[in-house]
Structure 1
Amino acid sequence: MKKFLVCLLALPLALAACGAQTADTRSTPPTEPTQTTETAPETSTPAAATAGRLRDTAMMMAVGNGVYTVNEKWNDENDVDTIYLVRTDCNTNTQQKVAEIELPGGAYYGMAAWDDTVKLYLFETPETGEPIEWCYTIDTATGSMERQTVDNNFWPAWCDDAAMYEMNYDSNPHITRIDRSTGETSRIELPQQTENLYVVGDKWLINRVVSPSPLPSGDDGDMYDAVLQNSEYEYDLVDAATGETQKLYSYPAIGDAYYYCGQREGTLYFYHYTRESDDNIYPSSVARLENGEMVQVTALENDHMGLHAMEDEQGELQWIARDSGKTIEVYDLNDGQTYHPAFKVDSSTYSTTGYPQMLLPGGRVLVLHGNIDAPGFADDGAYATIDRAAYLAGSTDYTPVTMYTGE
């Protein structure tokens, strides 16, 4: 049976096994903007103020000195899948199972994690009837669980201390907010023609089309192109508490493009994509927004290398990692230098060693380190940790993580 988790894992493998972190929306640029067909007043109506820093959710989330990951093992004979929530203790370099869930035709859909709680969003596909989405609330201290059904296929793309959020790309784009304690659902309205949504601290960063008239449907190709030709993409910062929208930067809708990749000390950084003669766009540099202008930070000479923006536990951008499938480059924003860490690909086991997964507290980095011996797991990648400076210098002095293998 083809599983949703396998589809998610296929992307990291295509990017030289860059792992679950690629689910972070800043790791790869969005596709060409979707087409918006209706308009509304350009206002944002807050549902509630954000509580603390907004964080991207993913299949790998760091909380304190621990890293939560989700794995899956399925049994095609009885069509019952087992979902495992696992915590990596970064102090002891060991993994422990936090929870185990069996679901008929189950599939992982999303996760949000805090100090005391993890919420897992899973799909159950019964033999008869429609698929069911469940939210499991897991006490990380005891492993006890509660579950409830979820309406409208909610997927937590971001979370803060109090809630989870997702963006809805319908005729009235908005953010759906679910309170993590009460389950109450509310909305944050977004300007029409909003294409992409990011987070900066406790605020929302939107990327939208500003056009002289409403964009026609993409089905009206010539009319759509004519309006887009005279339009701009605009980045705005939205305060959820007040609804205040602040314009940061705009650029022509036809031509080069900028995709947000992170912030550092309040300065926003972007991947700059250049439109080439084949009418496709390719990454050409990393730029920072400074006094209303884009300033190049470093050039990206190989436009076919995968991009992976890496931040520390405070949400500060530190590295831009790039991989070709055979080599790794890391641009360190701390000193402005490019490094070439040790990186090994084992094609016989479809595994890699040395790909950076996540920056950890205490100046260390979590990397992929071959495979685990656990047949049946959807993700069989093993982890290790290493000092960041040593890693950048090419060291292979890894400390392997004792992985959970289902036993």
Structure 2
Amino acid sequence: MDRRDLLKAGGVLAGSALMAGGLPGPASAARAVNFRVMTAATGVAARTDRRPVAGGVHDPKAGTTFISWGGTNEDSYVQAFRHGRWSAPLKIIDGRGDSHNYPTMVQADDGHLVVVVGMHNGETVIARSPQPHTIDGEWSPRVVAEGAAASYPMPFKAANGHLFVFFRETTRTVDPSAPTDNRPMLFMRSTDHGVTWQSSKQLTGLPYVLGSTDRADNLNEIYVGQLRHQRRPERVHLAWTLAGGGPGQHRHDYYHQDIHYAWFDPDALTFHAADGTDLGPQLTNDEIEGPCKVVVTPLERPADVVSPDYIQLVGWLRNGRPFVVWFTRDAALGFHDFASVWTPRGWQTSEVATGLRTREMEQIGPDTWRVYTTVDGQPGIATYRLENGRRWAAETAIPTPKPVQRVELITCFRDPARILATGASSAREVTVADGDVYVTGLA
């Protein structure tokens, strides 16, 4: 049985593959792209499980770019870049020694920076900058009860200025009788720049907005790989995979299966399928197994054959059709990279590359996205162009002194501060923080 037998895209066999692995060479003359790499902080970054969401923002009023990252014990730090210089790292939140407790950052319409940390199955901690348009001053983190039992915060600012944070709830934290693999998605919203919050339970009257509690295979854990806010028309795109104990057992993150997609309307608080169908304020198992299904994969352990990774990237084309970039990994076959695009015939999937971790991407044309990738153990970031969610081509290599672990596009970026690239620590323990913090953009 080969990979075409194992992998099915919405019931349609995956398309042909264009293989590419390793770092590409210099860009061609027609696509010459030169990146400048800055080291914001040296030898201070710890291992992190951060998703490619909300690593930093550019503030046009202050002419300053702000970033956040995790240091020793996954303590949260912020930095500012202005007039070609980086401020010293400023610690604002204790991380309690858990690689999941990473900071994410948005900027409210009143100019205050809002940093959000989900304390891995515990509380949500919010810190607002003491003053608008700057990180200076004494930050005062506080626990927000509306974000109880939270992991993997994904904040964004809606067009009307409301702040949202999607997060995954570990239900057993609030209900000890719940199985360990009941972990649905919720959100909380602030209409006053992050000062006070309401949970999705309060806003919708529903226990969760995306997930399930009663699947026969116990895949009741949601791993959202990425959330991406589209301004016009306003949509919040989400891609995710399922996890859980599997048939006959309740175990956290034992199996992974399938790729899914939906978009969220932050005004109406409703979800929609790729074809625009209104699915209401809650995506239950019927929607997950129906209109939200992108790719069917076998029930496998993480890192086994065609088991989806924890991170998926999501984008859209000029005609409004969404696409998802995702990868699988295993010890024998390595990494395999896929692109799945919505078409009038349903989701169509192609294997586009091998050997790459797809870390983040950005739209650089109506139907063209730049994908940032890394190769395990190698310094540098490789960029590729993905056209129409199908055609994959090497673009250029961005050299970094050390390997990179995570990449996040900076919101409203201004070059040369386009992406935040957190260097890989030499150890899995967060007590070892010797990775660099890089910021790069067009020179």
With the length of structure 1 as denominator, give the TM-score of the two structures.
0.55
Q: Distance in 1 between matches of 2:50 and 2:70?
A: 16
Where do residues 327-342 of structure 1 align in structure 2 (5 Å cutoff)? 328-333=381-386, 338-342=393-397
What residue is the counterpart of 1:190 in the other structure? 209
User: 1:157/1:282 Cα in 2 relative to 1: closer, same or farther (>3 Å)?
Assistant: same
The aligned runs of 1:83-122 (5 Å cut-off) are 84-89=77-82, 92-97=83-88, 101=92, 109-114=102-107, 116-121=111-116
Amino acid at match of 1:10: R
* Preserved contact between residue 200 and residue 262 of structure 1 (Cα < 8 Å): no
Q: Does 1:164 align with 2:217?
A: no
- The aligned counterpart of 2:437 is 381
Contact preservation (8 Å) 1:112, 1:164 = no
Shift of 1:220: 0.5
Match for residue 305 of structure 1 among 325, 343, 356: 356
What is the RMSD computed on CA atoms of the aligned residues? Answer: 5.3
Give, in angstroms, the shift of residue 114 of structure 1: 1.0
Pairwise CA distance, 1:270: 1.4
Deviations 1:52-89 (A, max 9, x none): xxxx323x444445432235776xxxx9x986421123
Whether the 8 Å contact between 2:307 and 2:328 is mirrored in structure 1 is yes
Map Cα deviations across residues 240-280 of structure 1 (whole Å, 9 max, x no partner).
Answer: 433544333535644468844323433322125579997x8
Q: CA deviation at 1:175?
A: 1.7
Within-5 A mapping of 1:63-212: 63-64=59-60, 66-70=64-68, 84-89=77-82, 92-97=83-88, 101=92, 109-114=102-107, 116-121=111-116, 135-138=126-129, 139-141=131-133, 143-145=136-138, 147-150=140-143, 151=145, 152=148, 154=150, 156-160=153-157, 161-169=161-169, 170=171, 171=182, 173-179=184-190, 180-187=193-200, 189-193=208-212, 195-197=222-224, 198-201=227-230, 202-205=234-237
From 239, 246, 269, the counterpart of 1:218: 246
Task: Report the equivalent of 1:401.
Answer: none
Tell me the SS of whatever aligns to 2:47. Answer: helix
Q: Which residue of 1 aligns with 2:278?
A: none
Aligned equivalents of 1:172 and 1:323: distance in 2?
Answer: 29
Q: CA deviation at 1:311?
A: 1.8
Distance 1:7 1:218 in 2: 39
CA, structure 1 residues 365+118, in 2 after alignment: closer, same or farther (shift >3 Å)?
closer
| Change over 3 Å in CA distance of 1:200–1:298 after alignment to 2 | farther
Give the ranges of 4+ consecutive aligned residues of structure 1 lying more than 6 Å apart after TM superposition. Answer: 102-108, 274-278, 313-317, 367-371
Q: Deviations over 1:208-259 (max 9, x none)?
A: 899xxxx99636069xxxxx9xx98653334343354433353564446884
Equivalent of residue 341 in structure 2, options 285, 288, 303: 288
- Aligned mate of 1:322, from 373, 378, 381: 373
CA distance in 1, matches of 2:370, 2:322: 14
CA contact (8 A) 2:235 2:265 kept: yes
Q: How many residues align?
A: 305
Structure 2: 5+ residue stretches without partners: 1-42, 172-181, 213-219, 275-290, 299-305, 425-431
- Other structure's SS at 2:268 match: coil
* Structure with the greater alpha carbon radius of gyration: 1
Contact 1:318/1:334 (8 A) holds in 2: yes
Instruction: Tell me if structure 1 keeps the 8 A contact 2:381–2:398.
Output: yes
Residues 1:311 and 1:73: Cα distance change in structure 2 (over 3 Å): closer
Question: How far apart, CA to CA, are the structure 1 residues paired with 2:313 and 2:359?
Answer: 12
Q: Whose relative contact order is higher, 1 or 2, with alpha carbons under 8 Å and at least 6 apart?
A: 2
Report the 3-state secondary structure (helix = DSSP H, G, I; strand = E; otherwise coil) of the residue aligned with 2:396: coil
